[in-house]
Amino acid sequence: MENPLSRDAAKEKRSFSAPPYSDYPALSVPGERQSNESSGEFYLGIVNIAGESKPLEKALDSIRVFGQYDAPVLITGETGTGKELAARGLHYCGSRSGHPFVAVNCATLTTDLFASEVFGHKKGAFTDARQDKKGLLAVAERGTLFLDEIDSLSLTSQAALLRLLQESEYRPVGSEKTYLCDVRLIASANCDLQEKIAAGLFRRDLFYRLHILTVHMPALRDRKDDIPVLVRHFLRQFAEQYELGEKIAPAELIDHLTSLSWPGNVRELENTIHRLYLLSGSGRIEIQHMPATDIHAEPFVPSPITTNTEPDAENGADDFPLTRQCGIGAGDYNFSRDKRLLVERFEKEYLTRILDEANGNVTRAAMMCGKDRRALGKMIKKYNIRRGLFME
């Protein structure tokens, strides 16, 4: 079991002086924000954040600056935008880079499990506590603890986290001793925490503690200029990983990828390029290698319901976009067949998206959508969807 630190020593370790922006030293490799003057590309080397868009440049500049501080950071952004990569960037850009970076997904932790995993426990603290266990705070000592999806924590766990932020001390489950810690906390959320606060699901005081510094990771649809850069980056990455030689993406495929909506953001694009790289047998990846579930249309937003069921002859508007997209109509109607086509398309896209958000974890995906795990597993098998492609 770790020894308690003296309060004065711990406070001295945590103290820092914030220099003005102009006084920040250049970031050292491998955490350096590097640029390619000829192409306009830039990236944060060690964490594989690449792009050339203004929204990404703003995020990387925030990472570069905030990395020098020891204050908590809240990272916001949709699923798949690279929030953990941003957290790693903050860690490796700062003075704690030589110490552990520890990440935990709060969505996987119940109230009791959160206390045991983060704070540790003593032997006999509960039924399965057969020996002392160090918590993640002890593992991350002098480094960084990243709490992913912090919005998933129960109010009880939020209260324990708030005390940690206020006092920089914690007590393992079943222990009578309180331990001081020297750990930087970074948290992420993929939802609007203000809405959670209004609904009584997130503590306002904890939000203010975390909201000192914020980094927003933009959605891929807001940084489409980065798609060609990311495609080249992922192709180089997979060529090195599999040693199958470099492959290029033709301009027409890049145009197609840029036109898609990418609800799963960069993670979804990476998974798509991963599959295309493995499926293509030549030195090029082609659009025909894309599985049907990857050829997204822009999100379909139904028109307001009206009593008019005839197409607008005056402006040629299509009142039946969903059936048109599935090739239904043109005088060839069969209700049972057409319904099956629509349901299959919905199920494939739904399963692909929810598995992506659950990182391939079927149990978690079932909990997210309220479906029985075995039934969900059968549907995944029915459509031959490979869970491993969604695992990080």
Task: Identify the domain boundary among 189, 218, 247.
Answer: 218
In this structure, are residues 49 and 33 in contact, taking their beta carbons and an 8 Å threshold? Answer: no
Sign of CA dihedral 19, 66, 186, 152: positive
**pLDDT for the residue numbered 343:** 81
Residue 19 has pLDDT above 50, yes or no: no
In a domain, 1, yes or no: no
**pLDDT for the residue numbered 320:** 54
Same domain, 291 and 324: no
pTM over 0.85: no
Same domain, 227 and 211: no
- Give the tokens for residue 205: 């005081």
More confident residue, 177 or 366: 177
Residue 387 has pLDDT above 80, yes or no: no
Residue 205 has pLDDT above 70, yes or no: yes
- pLDDT band with cut points at 50, 70 and 90 for residue 319: low
Same domain, 133 and 262: no
- Only one residue has tokens 């992506």, namely 356
End-to-end CA distance of the chain: 32
- Mean pLDDT is lowest, of 14-18, 337-341, 359-363, for 14-18
Same domain, 199 and 233: no
Task: Identify the domain boundary among 257, 281, 299.
Answer: 299
In this structure, are residues 152 and 106 in contact, taking their beta carbons and an 8 Å threshold? Answer: yes
Q: Say how far apart CA 154 and CA 196 lie, in whole Å.
A: 12
- pLDDT band with cut points at 50, 70 and 90 for residue 375: confident
**pLDDT for the residue numbered 330:** 55
Question: DSSP secondary-structure letter at 218?
Answer: -
Q: Say how far apart CA 100 and CA 217 lie, in whole Å.
A: 23
Same domain, 14 and 157: yes
Q: Say how far apart CA 219 and CA 267 lie, in whole Å.
A: 11
Same domain, 49 and 143: yes
| Segments in 318-392 forming alpha helices (H) | 321-325, 335-357, 362-369, 373-382
Same domain, 162 and 267: no
Domain region containing 333: 308-392
**pLDDT for the residue numbered 132:** 85
CB burial of residue 332 (10 Å; 0-12, 13-18, 19+): exposed
CATH number at residue 388: 1.10.10
Same domain, 288 and 320: no
**pLDDT for the residue numbered 294:** 53
- pLDDT band with cut points at 50, 70 and 90 for residue 376: confident
The letter for the amino acid at 335 is F
More confident residue, 238 or 298: 238
In a domain, 2, yes or no: no
Same domain, 322 and 287: no
**pLDDT for the residue numbered 96:** 95
Residue 3 has pLDDT above 80, yes or no: no
Same domain, 278 and 329: no
Give ∠ CA 115-116-121 in degrees, rounded to 5: 120
Question: DSSP secondary-structure letter at 320?
Answer: -
**pLDDT for the residue numbered 325:** 52
Q: What is the mean pLDDT of residues 140-150?
A: 97
In a domain, 192, yes or no: yes
Task: Identify the domain boundary among 218, 248, 277.
Answer: 218
Q: Say how far apart CA 46 and CA 148 lie, in whole Å.
A: 19
**pLDDT for the residue numbered 207:** 97
Same domain, 141 and 30: yes
Residue 232 has pLDDT above 50, yes or no: yes
Residue 106 has pLDDT above 90, yes or no: yes
More confident residue, 189 or 347: 189
- Mean pLDDT is lowest, of 167-171, 173-177, 240-244, 303-307, for 303-307
CATH number at residue 48: 3.40.50.300
Residue 392 has pLDDT above 80, yes or no: no
**pLDDT for the residue numbered 329:** 58
Phi then psi for residue 252, to 5 deg, are -65, -35
Q: What is the mean pLDDT of residues 192-207?
A: 95
Question: What is the tally of structural domains in the chain?
Answer: 3
* pLDDT, tens digit, 9 for 90 and up, residues 148-183: 999 999 999 999 999 999 999 999 988 889 999 999
Same domain, 25 and 101: yes
